[in-house]
Structure 1
Amino acid sequence: MTNDTPDWIRLHKALAVEAEHGFTDLMGKQYRFSEFLSLTFGKFPTILPAIERRRWQELAGQFVNYPHLVLEERQHLVAETRRYLYQLQKEPGSSTSTTSATLSTSSLSGRGAGEQKRNYQSQVKNPTSPMVAEVSKRLAPKIDQKLSDLPEIGIRKADKLAVLNLYTVRDLLFYYPRDHIDYARQVNIRELQAGETVTIVATVKRCNCFTSPKNQKLSILELILKDNTGQIKISRFSAGARFTSRAWQESLKRRYPVGSILAACGLVKGSKYGLTLDNPELEVLANPGDAIESLTIGRVVPIYALTEGVMASMVRQAVTTVLPAAVHLKDPLPKGLREKYGLMELKDAIANIHFPDDSATLQVARRRLVFDEFFYLQLGLLQRQQQARQIQTSAILAPKGQLIEKFYEILPFQLTNAQQRVLNDILNDLQKSAPMNRLVQGDVGSGKTVVAVIAILAAIQSGYQAALMAPTEVLAEQHYRKLVSWFNLLHLPVELLTGSTKAAKRREIHSQLETGELPLLVGTHALIQDTVNFQQLGLVVIDEQHRFGVKQRALLQQKGEQPHVLTMTATPIPRTLALTIHGDMNVSQIDELPPGRQKIQTTMLTGQQRTQAYDLIRREVAQGRQVYVVLPLVEESEKLDLRSAVEEHQKLQESIFPDFQVGLLHGRMSSADKDETITKFRDRETQILVSTTVVEVGVDVPNATVMLIENAERFGLSQLHQLRGRVGRGAAQSYCLLMSSTRSPDAQQRLKVLEQSQDGFFISEMDMRFRGPGEVLGTRQSGVPDFTLASLVEDEEILLLARQAAEKVIEIDVTLERWTLMKAELKYRYERLMGGAILT
């Protein structure tokens, strides 16, 4: 059929043959009846009056849904369509001429429809061919066209796709598959191996369709297929009362008659009858060598994220409808950059991420699109960094002075080489009028606080104030206690502001801040309250900064005029994750522990070995040492069979260690009770401290030598490493006991990482591999973007290349004015896909 004259004869014959065969959605050489009709009505003839074109579009949508109709609905649709066509032919201007028909020969052979579809597929596979430039751009949908405006999709389907936030052609083009299954490998039956996904082409030896004797609403299709190497039994299941009617079952048997050639694809698995294909996709071929035109069989099949009411077949068919629009895509990356990094052109990558020819092509397409995800993120971060450097309003802080010299004199130890290197980085930044934005990473006990104190003293001796914000009261109080011991010797005041600070004391602190009398304020989120106003804030220090939201960090910085910002974390961050969430920051690492620290002996134990753990605790306490026992819960949970901190404290005090003093610490206690508990433990009045993860940071007791962690498999590796850092802070040998009740090989493999390594950066890399980047930092508000394709675990090489490319682009033109398409794409991705959160 051309777009000028309908081929009435072919249409009538298709409808008649379907009716004669019992409305079974008859399979032609390449297309089913429903596919042929939907394609035919999807392209309405131009000779039709406008009022009739809408009716053709509606029919296209109805025949797309034909396979899901019950028998009576199919009969009604075919009858109404035949009646409509007869009436339409009587209208003036209609024609029964067949000379210009393009849907030739048998109405169900699919040759014409196949040619139409193969034209689209050839455009997709080779979008840069001359044909595309001349033909495809004219025929293909426009990028911003609404899906509901496309006849092949229509309003009903568009409404369902909208549930997936797919509204336009562009949305669908960039709706990447979450996975792919490779059915492209065609094998003989004898070559089948369990666990593989394959396609076989064989002859139907036997076909049977019946209702399951165990479930009256389940219909089972059984086929015995045979090729020249062997035979296989396969089954397909259809759930629903309409599939158990004899009429439907007989129609299914007629679809796969004995002797027909069948292509079947699926996952090979074992059964009581031998190897089989798990609920396979099926397509009847006219001849053994015929091309397989299915969207699933014999190819690399895209798997899309779905939701209730949206089927995989609907999304795949919608994608094939819009894929020709890829020719309209203009590539924002310059040709020179693509060639330098070996990147596929964007329109080719989009086409091949959906329906690649093979796995190798898929990988090349994925590499380009992963590069894009990383590249625009890095571009935005570097652009922000460059713009921040252009600000010249920050305080210039003196790196030398009496306060810093006195501090060196009162320190009872020398800085390590790593501390000195990081300190030099910080002091160099503080001498510039552009605001510092530096992250210091270091393992527990590596000496980050000392480095931060010297930066604070540089601010104070230059006439400015400083603020130190910590995520918990325990950690803030720990910092305050340490700073007071140093600042008293330097004759400098320092105050603590938390949610527990009394109203009178709070007013006094506010007043001293505004007058400038108070040079340093330590605190929690209380620092960002509107009532807290500094006279002249020059430096902000944020500890464990990933535990604060982006807005919370920004609010503290707004307390001054472009203050310098120093952030610290004892959670070592893998390089890829650091580039992703801190790509706009300078990063320094304290990768050296103070001398004299012994390696913490870490051992994984089972419940049967608990006696050994208690023996070690008794021995250490007898020698004057102290012990932590850490549990994941405060009180017993009905959902999780974990040891409760409250119950464990009672058990240890009354039954296991009645001769020792056992303390209890958890997050639900009041600040006063927490202070009292920690003080007793620090003063050795308590020998054993039962605690939740509140001790993860902030509790510093060098005399503690044993850390017993219950249900260790419930914690991430980075968190376990943090907990372990509470011991080993003195000169005595320390121990970390990982008590696990699970036999899961994965859990045991994770815990063995702790047994074998003390390197926080290695542990964090392994933690990210096991749990993913979103969980490593222990919070979902840490600013980790949700990538569609990219993986921080698997795609480190591409991330580093994207960072390199972004750096070169920014070097040339930070405004991106010379690359208008790239600038527009960056704006689109940050506003639409990332919500602007990274650039807040």
Structure 2
Amino acid sequence: MTIDKPDWIRLQKALAIEEEQGFTDLVGRQYRFSEFFTLTFGKFPNDLPSYERRRWQQLATQFSNYPNLGLEDRKNLVLETSNYLYQLEQQEGEAGTRKQGGHGGQGGQGGQGRNIASLSSAAKSKKPNPKSQIVAEVSRTLAPKLDQKLKDLPEIGLRKAEKLARLSLYTVRDLLFYYPRDHIDYARQVSISELEAGETVTIVAAVKSCNCRTSQKNQKLTILELLLRDDTGKIKISRFFAGTRFTSRAWQESLKRRYPVGSIVAACGLVKGTKYGLTLEDPELEVLANPGDTIESLTIGRVVPVYALTEGVGADLVRQAIIAALPTAAHLKDPLPSGLRGKYGLMELKDAIANIHYPSDSDTLQHARRRLVFDEFFYLQLGLLQRQHQAKQIQTSAVLAPRGQLLDKFYEILPFKLTNAQQRVINDILNDLQKPVPMNRLVQGDVGSGKTVVAVVAILAAIESGYQAAFMAPTEVLAEQHYRKLVSWFNLLYLPVELLTGSTKTAKRRQIHAQLETGELPLLVGTHALIQNPVNFHRLGLVVIDEQHRFGVEQRAKLQQKGEQPHVLTMTATPIPRTLALTIHGDLDVSQIDELPPGRQKIQTTVLTSQQRPQAYDLMRREIAQGRQVYVVLPLVEESEKLDLRSATEEHQKLKESVFPDFQVGLLHGRMSSAEKDEAINKFRDNETQILVSTTVVEVGVDVPNATVMLIENAERFGLSQLHQLRGRVGRGAAQSYCLLMSSSRSPDAQQRLKVLEQSQDGFFISEMDMRFRGPGEVLGTRQSGVPDFTLASLVEDEEVLMLARQAAEKVIEIDAALERWYLMKEELKYRYERLMGGAILT
């Protein structure tokens, strides 16, 4: 509904008088001050621009609530409204001047062009308020600037800006890109007979009765009751107002006057069933002049944004602030070229920002979200690919020769034939090593797929070309495991190899340091000890890092700095979902060993309840009787290592004394010394102990082909990827192996997760499912900062958009890696990339 042009002087005079009388909600001849402005802003002026209509309607809502506001809030509303009306008056004057040819001069503003202070003085003969003049000057622009501070916006001011700062919102840009965490769809309008409990809807109906009263049970609670009727039925709805300021008879009567019998009301909310029939829970209400009128409310009949909040920052405050900032969205310049947007069917940025906050309908919301999700993925991929491109401009001193005699000898002594997948990955690596740029390749392979053999081929290629190699593992157990395997091969090739860990004796450590510096030692295996200052290589050409995600960025960089741009090969036995790999390893070349060596049998996996424990013990006895061995694994309790230690010790004691007194039962946990761990592992490896009770220390590095049963206690406390890793400790020999997942949880979600292990042996599929259940950070074993912090995007739900964003980023880098021809894109990348990665980049 629209009206003729407002009488600016009359409106400003009314505001000035209310200010003069101390914001008491003055009673005029026909209306109270608040009712007058509620009616004024309830109808749009004929020439009001469409982008101002939300603000106009917002003021109507605020003035309808004016009687409930405290003195300071009333004062702020009156000042903001006066500034806003002055802004509109100025725009109208400027538009009139332009129509007359632009020569209006000062007279173009007309007699109504006075500032707020002069209007106030006309009413109360006081000196102009310089603060009001400054605010009015700020308000003259059509829209605030992106970098404008929120405290400088008339609609927000200092007090509200301080509250918004609790959400890290300081500028207009912060507000525009503060996306809703959800939306409530009130856009569906239905008749009363169509209402169904659980749905969120809007109805338009006539008021048949209205009652406003104080609750008999709670004297501080006011209840508004409306009986609404349309052509199909009737419904009773209620709103509740808590607080003594709502209990005055005058306020209750004023509320009743808003909803007179016969008036048309739009109401929206969640349909809820009660013993009295259906109703709307905490409904939003708007009075319409006629049944067919357009609903102008910011909530009723719309898709309403729901923002993440914090204590002291309410939903209304954030929505009002967003509305104040939204006019700026129309002036956003889109960094993505129109051709790229057209190719991938992307909404323009300014439209996406406007519609992610206040979409016209659900379809528009989805298009807006898709564009903004694309942006989050695109700039991350662009940054990763740009970094990869820059890395490939660096020259390495280690350009290795093609395959030689050392590799031929190694293939001869191998007791097995390489799989096609291993050979494919080896070819990738050897091709990289012959290039003048440093290799930066990640090899993913399931448990037991043969990654170590692939790494040895790369190491031997480096040694044959006159370079040294370093092999770093995250734990002593795993480093020692690799060392033993490498020694068995290197002895046959007459090559020395040493192990350096925190447990290495001082004399041996000094010997290793000396041999490294002279070049006598071609390969050093170790833990973090490799990156210490005394470790200096003569000619480091290759760095191999196993389970690389367990090392920090700086730790990996320090090892690389031991040589002159050495080649880097990283490995992981934790299969990473494709979307997660692209996100955290997007700057690496990735190879997958997706094939197990022949002869490996499927590990029979079963989920058991505590009542089925006797059957598990029977299986363990049968396997031990045939000369096999058994693992019993207990969960690591992060909150208390002592609790973890006690549980492992108690379980060990129970199995040793009560359940399996005829067998030797060993114990392994993280708080043992290195010597104690070695002793426990060696006894199990030599079959001196038949059962090894362990915490997750056994997850990597313990390779005992004779072990055929793994019993995992409280399996629901592990992630699927970790369970798959643990399961990989058995099934390494020719005999049939078993994994028993013992769970006391009755949760359907927990049972569903564990059933995935029963159904699949595919580590990549399991990791995908793990990410769906637990999120990307947990899949890697820790909640680490290497996973980017997306605002809208989901690695689970938005895989298709991620792939398109990667494709688009590759094309852009191919055309112009420096982004010189796309200045806006370059600036946006600079702003977003560091922000998205939180300053910590995993690879």
- Normalization by structure 1: what TM-score? 0.85
Q: Is 2:34–2:64's contact at 8 Å kept on the other side of the alignment?
A: no
- Aligned counterparts, 1:36-435, within 5 A: 67=65, 73=71, 139-209=142-212, 219-240=222-243, 242-243=245-246, 251-435=254-438
The question of whether the paired residues in 2 share the 8 Å contact of 1:443 and 1:760 is answered with yes
CA distance in 2: counterparts of 1:753 and 1:791, whole angstroms: 22
1:754 alignment partner, one of 748, 754, 757: 757
Distance in 2 separating the partners of 1:639 and 1:675:
21
Instruction: Answer whether contact 1:7 1:101 (CA < 8 A) is retained.
Output: no
Secondary structure in 2 matching 1:644: helix
Q: 1:143-168, CA deviations, whole angstroms, 9 ceiling, x for partnerless residues?
A: 22111111111111111111212111
- The equivalent position to 2:11 in structure 1, one of 7, 11, 27, is 7
Q: Is the 8 A contact 1:295 1:316 kept in 2?
A: no
User: Aligned in 2, Cα 1:213/1:590: closer, same or farther, shift over 3 Å?
Assistant: farther
Cross-structure match for 2:660: 657
Note closer, same or farther for the CA distance 1:658–1:252 as it changes in structure 2 (3 Å cut): farther
Structure 1 position 797, deviation (Å): 1.1
CA contact (8 A) 2:206 2:262 kept: yes
Q: Distance in 1 between the 2:510 and 2:217 partners?
A: 76
Give the corresponding residue for 1:688: 691
User: Residues 638-657 of structure 1: matches in 2 within 5 Å?
Assistant: 644-657=647-660
Does residue 518 in structure 1 map to residue 533 in structure 2? no
CA distance in 2, matches of 1:19, 1:249: 20
**1:348 positional shift:** 1.1
Q: Deviations over 1:803-830 (max 9, x none)?
A: 1111111111111111111111111112
Give the CA deviation at 1:218. Answer: 5.2
CA distance in 1, matches of 2:311, 2:379: 32
Letter in 2 for 1:804: Q
Tell me how far 1:31 sits from its aligned partner. 5.0
Indicate the residue corresponding to 2:715 in structure 1: 712
State the alpha-carbon separation in 2 of the partners of residues 789 and 18 from structure 1. Answer: 50
Q: How far apart are the structure 2 equivalents of 1:205 and 1:188?
A: 16
Per-residue CA distance 1:460-517 (angstroms, 9 max, x = gap): 1111111111112221111112112222222222222222223333232222222222
Verify the 8 A CA contact 1:548 1:782 in the aligned structure 2. Answer: no
Q: How far apart in 2 are the matches of 1:641 and 1:764? A: 26
Distance 1:471 1:384 in 2: 26
Does the 8 Å CA contact 1:207/1:258 hold for their aligned counterparts? yes
Distance 1:205 1:814, change over 3 A: same
Partner of 1:573: 576
The amino acid of 2:11's aligned partner reads: D
Counterpart of 1:360, as a letter, is D
Q: Give the stretch that moved more between structures: 564-573 or 643-652.
A: 643-652
More displaced, 657-666 or 248-257?
248-257
Asked if 1:778 is matched to 2:777, the reply is: no
Q: Could you say what secondary structure the match of 1:7 adopts? A: helix
The aligned counterpart of 2:817 is: 814
Unaligned runs of 5+ in 1: 44-59, 89-96, 103-135
Contact 2:549 2:842 in 1 (8 A): no
Instruction: Give the one of 756, 760, 766 matched to 2:769.
Output: 766
Query: Is 1:448 matched up with 2:439?
Result: no
1:572-607 CA-to-partner distances (Å, cap 9, x unmatched) read 111111111111111111111011111111111112
> 1:271 and 1:24, CA in 2 relative to 1: closer, same or farther beyond 3 A?
farther
User: Given the alignment, which residue of 826, 833, 836 partners 1:830?
Assistant: 833
Tell me the alpha carbon deviations over residues 504-559 of structure 1, each in whole angstroms, 9 at most, x when there is no partner.
33232222222222211112222222232222111111111111222222221111
CA gap 1:598/1:287 in 2 versus in 1, 3 angstroms? same
The Cα shift of 1:833 comes to 3.9
Report how many aligned residue pairs link the two structures.
773
Q: Which residue of structure 1 aligns with residue 746 of structure 2?
A: 743
Structure 2 counterpart of 1:612, one-letter code = Q
Alignment-derived partner of residue 91 in structure 1 = none
Name the residue aligned to 1:723: 726
State whether residues 819 and 826 of structure 2, in contact with CA within 8 Å, keep that contact through their aligned partners in structure 1: yes
For 1:302 and 1:330, how far apart are their aligned partners in 2? 24
Deviations 1:4-42 (A, max 9, x none): 856346658995458987888789458579x99xx9xxx
From the superposition, tell whether residues 831 and 633 of structure 1 become closer, same or farther in structure 2 (CA, over 3 Å).
closer
**What SS does the aligned partner of 2:167 have?**
coil
Which of 569, 590, 595 aligns to 1:592? It is 595
% identical aligned pairs: 81
1:518-597 pair list within 5 angstroms: 518-597=521-600
User: Is the 1:209–1:250 contact (alpha carbons within 8 Å) kept by the matching residues of 2?
Assistant: yes
Tell me, yes or no, if the aligned pair for 1:25 and 1:32 is still in contact at 8 Å: no
Give the conservation status (yes or no) of the 8 Å contact 2:721–2:779.
yes
Counterpart code for 1:816: L
Determine if the alignment matches structure 1 residue 604 to structure 2 residue 604: no
Q: Distance in 1 between matches of 2:691 and 2:146?
A: 66
Per-residue Cα deviation, 1:425-453 (whole angstroms, up to 9, x for no partner):
00110111100011111100000001001
Counterpart of 2:796? 793
AA aligned to 1:740 is S
For 1:337, the aligned partner's letter is L
**1:590 partner amino acid:** I
Verify: 1:703 aligned to 2:701, yes or no.
no
Distance in 1 between residues matched to 2:112 and 2:6, nearest whole Å: 6
Q: Are the structure 2 counterparts of residues 188 and 634 from structure 1 closer, same or farther at C-alpha, using a change threshold of 3 Å?
A: closer
Larger CA deviation: 387-396 vs 586-595: 387-396
Q: Would the alpha carbon gap of residues 419 and 74 (structure 1) be closer, same or farther in structure 2, given more than 3 Å must change? A: closer
Is contact 1:192-1:268 (8 Å) kept? yes
Range 528-537 or range 359-368, more displaced: 528-537
Deviations 1:662-694 (A, max 9, x none): 222121222111111111111111111121111
Q: 1:736-778: CA deviations, max 9, x gaps?
A: 1111222222222111111111111111111111111121111
- Decide which moves more: 483-492 or 532-541: 483-492
- Distance, in Å, in 1 between the alignment partners of 2:140 and 2:375 is 24
Partners in 1 of 2:7 and 2:824 — Cα distance?
A: 36
**AA in 2 matched with 1:718:** S
Q: Cα distance 1:8–1:156, how it changes in 2: closer, same or farther (>3 A)?
A: closer
CA distance in 2, matches of 1:642, 1:476: 23
Change beyond 3 A, Cα 1:774–1:638: closer
The answer to which of 512-521 and 634-643 deviates more is 634-643
Pair 450,213 (structure 1): closer, same or farther in 2 beyond 3 Å: farther
Structure 1 residues 674 and 495 mapped into 2: Cα distance closer, same or farther (>3 Å)? Answer: same
Distance in 1 separating the partners of 2:225 and 2:722: 53
AA aligned to 1:712 is A
2: CA distance, partners of 1:26 / 1:6: 11
SS in 2 for 1:731: coil
The SS at the match of 1:324 is helix
How big is the shift at 1:834?
Answer: 2.9
- Residues 298-333 of structure 1, C-alpha deviation per residue, up to 9 Å, x if partnerless? 101111111111111111111111111112211111
The alpha-carbon deviation at position 241 of structure 1 amounts to 5.4
Structure 2: gaps spanning 5 or more residues = 19-24, 53-57, 87-108, 115-138
Decide whether the 8 Å contact of 1:208 with 1:253 is kept in 2: yes
